[in-house]
Structures are given as structure tokens and as C-alpha cells.
Amino acid sequence: MSRFESSFIGIFGGTFDPIHYGHLRMAEEVVETIGLREMRFVPAGIPRLRSAPVASPQHRAAMVHAAIQNNPRFVLDEREARRPGMSYSVESLRELRQEMGENVTLCFVMGADAFMRLSEWHGWHELFQLCHIIIAARPGHALTTNHDVLPHELREECAQRWVSSAGGLAGGLAGTSNGLIYIAPTTLLDISATAIRTRIGAKSSVRYLLPDTVLDYIETNHLYSGEE
């Protein structure tokens, strides 16, 4: 079965302020490793557990579109950018589950640092009823070999959910198509959106840290330069 016939859909949320090659390379490798039919990029509107993004939701969604437009496996999903108020991943996953039905397997993708704080998320227990969780962990990250580094409540919830291979996601937990956790081997590039914004503000080059299409959008709209 080819990846385009797969029932597995990736959901990749984030502020993408701006989107860069670190995001894109990780997403590409997760698509390939798991055999996803598509990866949906979901720019957050107003995140609850981090400072407000610098660029507006509309600008950040436009930058994602510019970055992924030539990859048929990548899809922009603007539901959180358009939703008023705080962005809650669990709400988006509920909507996607309702829209796509039970025959589709949702795979929610996040970095290891975000996963470490999962028990602080709104409605986090429900995530396991809606999707598998795919963790992109930097090589050598403690989580890859020692789950005891997790906060106690999260460690207890996850104890029986880990799988050691992408193929282990197919069965789901207790016969369902959700509830498992897999650490995906990915090349995590040491690129930071914060550092990109800082360099732009200092009028330093950011070329080759993000796609030219995104850089062109930033320059055209005077983002991060203090001239907005």
C-alpha cells in the first residue's frame, strides 16, 4: 500500500513563527517513516502555554502555505488560526475525528519538549482517545531511553502505550485506532524560530534557514523587522 492510500493522517501543530527547515524536514521524515497519507500543518491562533506569537495567525498561515505548496503530502489546516480565543489541540482533534470518521487514524506530531509538558495541556487525557502521539525526539534526548524522566502523572498514563516501531501503531490500543505513542527517528535540525526573528530584527541573513518563499513573504510584509 502506498503512502497516498494510507489511512494515517499526521497533525502537526505549532506557532510556526516563522516556519523553517527544522519543521519541514521533521515532517517529511515522519511522513516517510509512518507512511502517512498527508501531514496537516495547523498554525495555532493564541497558544495557552507559551507567549503570544509575534506574527498574526493570518501571516503565519500564509507562511506555512508558502513553505509547503509544492509538497503534495503537506496540507495547510487553518482551523485554529480562524478560531477565536485560545487554541486547544484537543478541540481540533475532535473536529478532525468527526470530519474524517473512524476509519482514519490520526497521528498527532510533537517535539519531545512539548510532550514532556503534555499533562499541562487542556483536556490532555482525551488526546489518547482521539489519536496516536508521535514524538520527534532529538538524538540523545533522555526520553528516547528513559521514560522515567516524564512527570509522574504523564508517566503513569503512558506506561502501556509505548510502541517501538511505526508498524506497531497499526493495531491501536485495545483494538482502537488511537492511544499509542511512538518516538520517531528524525533529523532534528538546530534551527530556532526565535533565533530567526532575532536575526531579522538585527538585519542579519536568515537565508538557508527557511525556504526562500517564506523569506520573500517576510520581507514583502516587513515581518519581525520592527517595521510592521
The DSSP output letter for 135 is: E
Main-chain dihedrals φ then ψ at residue 224, nearest 5 degrees:
70, 5
Please give the single-letter amino acid code of residue 180: L
In percent, the amount of the chain with pLDDT more than 70 equals 94
Q: Which residues pair with 106 in a beta bridge?
A: 9
- What are the structural domain ranges in the chain? 3-220
Residue 48 is predicted with a pLDDT of: 73
3-220: which CATH number, 3.20.20.70, 3.40.50.10860, 3.40.50.620, 3.40.50.1220? Answer: 3.40.50.620
Q: Which residues pair with 10 in a beta bridge?
A: 39, 107
**Locus of grid cell 508498524:** 167
Q: Which residues pair with 163 in a beta bridge?
A: 182
Around Cβ 175, how many Cβ atoms within 10 Å? 6
Residue 1 is predicted with a pLDDT of: 39
Q: What is the dihedral sign for C-alpha 23, 193, 210, 61? A: positive
Cell of 105: 487514524
CA distance 12 to 22: 13
Read off the pTM.
0.92
- Kindly state the average pLDDT of the residues 58-81: 97
In percent, the amount of the chain with pLDDT more than 90 equals 74
Cβ(218)–Cβ(224) below 8 Å: yes
Has residue 125 got a pLDDT over 90? yes
Tell me the per-residue pLDDT of 162-217, one tens digit each, with 9 for 90 and over. 999 999 998 777 667 899 999 998 888 989 999 999 999 999 999 999 999 999 99
Cβ(93)–Cβ(127) below 8 Å: yes
